[in-house]
Chain A
Amino acid sequence: MNKVFAIAGIAIRNAIRSRVVVVLLALLLIAIVALPLTIKGDGTLTGAVQVLLRYTLGAVTMILSIATLWAGCAAISLEVQERQVHLLVTKPVFRMQLWLGKWLGLLILNTVLLGLAGVASYTLLRWNLRQDDVADILVARRVVNPMPLDIAADARQIFEEQKRRGELPPGPPDQVLEAIQQSLRQQAYSVPSGLARRYVFPVKPTGVPLVIRYKFASSSTGKEQLACLWIAGSPDRADRFEKPEYAAPGGVHTVRIPPAMVDTNETLTVDVANVHPMPLTMVFAPDDGVQLLVQETSFEMNLVRCLLLELVKLAFLGALAVTIGSVFSLPVAAVTAGYALLLMNIGGYLQTLIGQKMIFSAGAQPGILDLLVHWIYVILYWLTKPFQQPSALEPLAAGELVSWTWLGTIFLWQVVVAGGAVAAIGVWAFNRRELGLPE
């Protein structure tokens, strides 16, 4: 293990003395300081935070990703080219130790640089928002979705009722049932004026602040604000919480709910009543129309987790690059790594390509070539799928929790499984290489 650290230490020292680190730090600083000056937010505080976090940290991770790929590719291939590796493999050093040392060096550099960038952008964020009330923005809240409605059971009940009364519309029974379900689903998410709709959230009574986040569309084409009333707490309580709101359709709104409204059976009941004087309907989006946000941890903790998540991705990229660089010479390695990075970032496009089965032939049946290309796309898609993780910067900027579970899953996937596989391939191929040969 000492040898691994020795090799990592040399890699780091080289990076520092060859001024690579200085240049990177300068680039990162430019990204952190200059980017927010050039990008205009939407004027709101939330927008400003989005710019400060998503764009600056996004640029930071991009710069580090590219630097990692390049440095990783160069790590071993340059040593082979300059023949410094001759003095390593003629010492009692296993090639696995050499691989690990190079990877560890990259990881340590990335940790330090990402940490510095994180501290810098956090400081800048705090400084920029020093006069604003950020209690509601710099948060880390878990998103809780309401319990799903049992539409199927309700539909079945209505179906039986109509059948009993002989009011069933004509047509095959399963289609009739489907139609009933469809209209129920539509009703479930729309609240006409004068009516109310109930959401029940599973939540433990911990006393932490709770927030309802909602967005809706209006049945009117205008942008006029609608009056609605939010009522929280079990219906049989005398002290239910009530909050009238005047909200514009299309925007994202929040209502604070006292934690005491959570029921003993670990649920929170929330009713929303459309109390608008005009006959307008509020239509909530089915998936994220009404959600409960539960304060989970501090924003700072969330930032740390988000950076750790980015570090995990960098660790995988480093492993990939070191392996590629231990097999190919530098130019070839760089091109290959760039291609791999590209593939990892065009998952959506690959999916579209898979969707259209016929590319070459115009006929009704896909030809051999079409099938072949199709399967290549499918394989590429599945190979790169584990790496097409949404960025953790988005939830961070939106004040949503970056959970340990998510971090753990990505770590397991990218570092342990994929990283391990890439390392094994790298060491195996490197072991077979005759290093005395020139490139």
Chain B
Amino acid sequence: MSEPIIEAIGLQKVFRDFWRRPKVKAVNDVSFTVNRGEVFGLLGPNGSGKSTTLKMILGLLYPTSGQLRVLGRSPRDVKTKARIGYLPEESYSYPYLTSQETLSFYGMLFDLPAGERQQRTEQLLDMIGLRHARRRQVGEFSKGMARRIGLAQALINDPDLVILDEPTSGLDPIGCRQVKDLIKALAARGKTVLLSSHLLSDVEDVCDRVIILYNGKVQALGTINELLEQKTQYRLTMPEVSAEGLQRILAAVRAELGNEPAVDHPRRDLEQFFLEIVEKARQATTEASGVGPASGVARYLAGDEVLQQLLKTPESPAPAPLSAAQQQAADEKLRKLVEPPK
């Protein structure tokens, strides 16, 4: 399990101007190791060197100094590319090709036999929900649709190492959810995933370990829990209690701590809420112009049937969402309840 897939030691990238004078130190002394089966996240604000690091791993940029080995070889080795899938920051596909042709073309670059290529293309188009647009030219796609094509082409070779540069950017929440499910499915099959993002929730949901970059330097590295757990605080979640019951509990806490604890209603997150709404709307209509109903994960990616099943079962059914007014009323009631006695 600890076979290193990517090893970076003292990685540095200096961009130079035309006269070869150093201009920007985009990556500065970055060291990390990504092991097989891990989902590894590069986190950092805009311009912190995430894409630069990924491009060095892909052999698109050459490190100024430091050591870098990918799948045991130099990142510039052409043969190891057969085991890598890459989703770039923006979509760089050929505008005049249809989505089907695009996927088939990239399949050819991996020497996939025609039958296999066609099968995977079909499954990927189903997975990204663009089956209905398979004969449309990619040039006329919306940003999110183009991103989906980019994601599909990164997976056409069933790669061992998947490198995703901001995989959820430009995607709607369903797409985001799907990408996250996909990443989990890939990891479950022992694939290694390296992704970059500045969306914290993405990283939090899927990554085993993250590295936080700022100004090209590593600021923190570790598992999500290690980094996020606040060991000095506790959170208590309870079923509904009567007003008097809550007052008594709060009084006890006040007596223990000597100051006021924070109390609120837990909320479902907005992502979950959105997904439910769209699911309902989808059941009501059949015609789709943008992204159609997407099916879990392409069969050849998911591996066995059991896993496929697992991915398809929806999360535990949530209670019907409250309207905004109802929610507000509930919040108001709670505020009154927890108000400390005057």
B78 neighbours in A (Cβ, 8 Å): 92-94
**Best-buried of B59, B60, B97, B157 by chain A (most CB within 10 Å):** B60
Indicate whether B92 reaches chain A with its CB closer than 8 angstroms.
Answer: yes
Our pick among B84, B96, B157 for the contact of A18 (Cβ within 8 Å) is: B96
A3 within 8 A of B: yes
A-facing residues in B58-92 (Cβ within 8 Å): 58-62, 78-79, 81-82, 84, 86, 88, 90, 92
CA distance A3 to B78 in the complex (A): 13
Known: A14-B94, A90-B86, A92-B81. A6 touches B60 (CB 8 A): no
**Nearest CB of chain A from residue B90's CB, rounded to whole Å:** 8
Known: A3-B111, A13-B96, A91-B81. A86 touches B60 (CB 8 A): yes
Residue pairs across A and B with Cβ atoms less than 8 A apart, 15 shown, are A2-B108, A3-B108, A3-B111, A13-B97, A84-B93, A87-B88, A87-B92, A87-B93, A91-B81, A91-B106, A91-B157, A92-B81, A93-B109, A435-B60, A436-B58
- Of the candidates A6, A434, A436, the one whose C-beta lies within 8 Å of that of B108 is A6
A14 to B94, CA, bound (A): 8
Q: How many angstroms from the CA of A86 to the CA of B55 in the assembled complex? A: 9
Closest approach, in angstroms, between the C-beta of B4 and any C-beta of chain A? Answer: 20
Q: Identify the closest chain B residue to A6 (Cβ).
A: B108
Specify which chain B residues have a CB less than 8 angstroms from the CB of A17 in the assembled complex.
96, 137
- Would B105 and A10 count as touching, CB distance under 8 A? yes
- Cα of A90 to Cα of B165 in the assembled complex, Å: 14
CB atoms of B61 and A86 under 8 A apart: no
Measured between beta carbons, the chain A residues less than 8 angstroms from B109 are: 3, 6, 88, 91-93
**Using a CB–CB distance below 8 Å, which chain A residues touch chain B?**
2-3, 6, 9-10, 13-14, 17-18, 82-84, 86-94, 434-437
**Chain A neighbourhood of B81, CB < 8 A:** 90-93
Whether, in the assembled complex, B99 has its beta carbon less than 8 Å from a beta carbon of chain A, the answer is no
A6 to B90 alpha-carbon distance, docked (Å): 23
- The reply to whether the CB of B110 lies closer than 8 angstroms to some CB of chain A is yes
On whether the beta carbons of B62 and A90 are closer than 8 Å, the reply is: no
Number of chain B interface residues as a range: 20 to 34
Known: A86-B88, A91-B110, A92-B82. A10 touches B60 (CB 8 A): no
Q: In the complex, what residues of A have CB within 8 A of residue B79's CB?
A: 92
A437 near B61 (CB under 8 angstroms)?
A: yes
If A3-B111, A87-B153, A93-B109 touch, whether A10 touches B92 (CB-CB below 8 Å) is no
In the docked arrangement, what's the CA distance between A435 and B75, Å?
13
The 10 A-B residue pairs with the shortest CB-CB distance in the complex, in nearest-first order:
A436-B60, A436-B61, A17-B96, A6-B108, A91-B109, A92-B82, A436-B55, A92-B81, A90-B86, A83-B92
Assembled-state Cα–Cα distance A52/B153 (Å):
51
- Looking at the assembled complex, report how far the CB atom of B137 sits from the nearest CB atom of chain A, in whole angstroms: 8
- Shortest distance in angstroms between B21's beta carbon and chain A's nearest beta carbon? 15
Residues of A within 8 A of B88 (CB): 83, 86-87
Residue from A6, A13, A18, A89 within 8 A of B59 (CB atoms) = A89
- Within 8 Å by CB of B94, from A84, A86, A94, A436, lies A84
Q: Count the A-B residue pairs with Cβ separation under 8 angstroms: how many?
A: 73
A11 to nearest B CB, angstroms? Answer: 10
Q: How far is the CA of A17 from the CA of B153 in the complex (A)?
A: 22
In Å, the complex CA distance between A10 and B138 comes to 14
Are B105 and A6 in contact, with the CB atoms below 8 A?
yes
B134 to chain A, nearest CB (A): 16
Contacts of A90 in B (CB 8 A): 58-60, 81, 84, 86
A145 to chain B, nearest CB (A): 55
| Shortest CB distance B184–A (Å) | 24
Q: Is the CB of B93 within 8 A of A434?
A: no
Further 4 A-B residue pairs, CB within 8 A, beyond A6-B108, A87-B92, A436-B58: A14-B94, A90-B81, A91-B81, A93-B81
Complex Cα gap A2–B62 (Å): 28
Q: In the complex, A53 Cα to B38 Cα: how many Å?
A: 68
Residues of A within 8 A of B105 (CB): 6, 9-10
- Inter-subunit contact B96/A82 (CB<8 Å): no
Q: Complex: how many Å from CA A3 to CA B108?
A: 6
Distance A9 CA – B107 CA, assembled complex (angstroms): 14
User: 1/0 per residue B292-309: CB within 8 Å of A?
Assistant: 000000000000000000
Cα A90 to Cα B105 with chains together (Å): 14
Q: Which A residues are in CB contact (< 8 Å) with B90?
A: 83
Query: In the bound complex, what is the Cα–Cα distance between A88 and B101 (angstroms)?
Result: 15
User: Smallest CB-CB separation from A18: which chain B residue?
Assistant: B96
Tell me how far the C-beta of B139 lies from the nearest C-beta in chain A, rounded to whole angstroms. Answer: 9
Please name all residues of chain B whose beta carbon is closer than 8 Å to the beta carbon of A84 when the two chains form the complex: 92-94
- B15, B58, B93, B108, most chain A CB atoms within 10 A: B108
State the Cβ distance, B219 to closest chain A Cβ, in Å.
24
C-alpha spacing A381/B334, complex, angstroms:
92
**Cα A93 to Cα B157 with chains together (Å):** 13
**Distance A13 CA – B81 CA, assembled complex (angstroms):** 26
Q: How far apart are the CA atoms of A3 and B109 in the complex, in Å?
A: 5
Query: How far does the alpha carbon of A302 sit from the alpha carbon of B78 in the complex, in Å?
Result: 46
- Write the chain B residue with the least CB distance to A83: B92
Q: Are B55 and A10 in contact (CB under 8 A)?
A: no
* B86 interface neighbour in A87, A94, A435, Cβ under 8 Å: A87
Contact B86 A10 (CB under 8 A): no
- Is A434 within 8 A of B82, CB to CB? no
Inter-chain contacts of A14 with B (CB < 8 A): 94, 96
Rounded to whole angstroms, the CA-CA distance of A17 and B94 in the bound complex is: 11
Give the shortest distance, in Å, between B166 (CB) and chain A (any CB).
Answer: 14
CA distance A2 to B109 in the complex (A): 8
Q: How far is the CB of A174 from chain B (nearest CB, A)?
A: 66
Assembled-state Cα–Cα distance A276/B47 (Å): 95
Residues of B with C-beta under 8 A to A435: 60
* Interface contact A92-B60, CB-CB below 8 Å: no
- Neighbouring B residues of A82 by C-beta, 8 Å: 92
B100 to chain A, nearest CB (A): 13
Give Cα distance in the complex from A159 to B82, angstroms. Answer: 83
Residues of A within 8 Å of B86, CB to CB, are: 86-87, 90
Q: In chain B, what residue has the closest Cβ to A432?
A: B62
Please give, as numbers and ranges, the residues of chain A lying within 8 Å of B153 by CB-CB distance.
87
| CA distance in complex: A18, B139 (Å) | 11
Contacts of A91 in B (CB 8 A): 81, 106, 109-110, 157
- Residues of A contacting B101 in the complex (Cβ-Cβ under 8 angstroms): 13
Cβ of A83: which chain B residues have Cβ within 8 Å of it? 88, 90, 92
Complexed CA–CA distance, A437 and B101 (Å): 28
In whole angstroms, what is the CA distance A434 to B157 when docked?
A: 24
Contact A87 B106 (CB under 8 A): yes
Q: Chain B residues with Cβ under 8 A from A9's Cβ? A: 105
- Give the contacting residue for B110; candidates A13, A87, A89, A92; CB below 8 A: A92
Against A, the Cβ 8 Å flags (1 = close, 0 = not) of B147-177 are 0000001000100000000000000000000
- The distance in angstroms between the C-alpha atoms of A184 and B86, with both chains bound, is 82
Given that A6-B108, A90-B81 are contacting pairs, would A434 and B97 also be in contact in the complex, using a CB cutoff of 8 Å? no
- Contact indicator B110/A434 (Cβ below 8 Å): no
Complex Cα spacing A18 to B97, Å: 11
**Cβ of A94: which chain B residues have Cβ within 8 Å of it?**
78
Q: State A435–B59 Cα separation when bound (angstroms).
A: 9
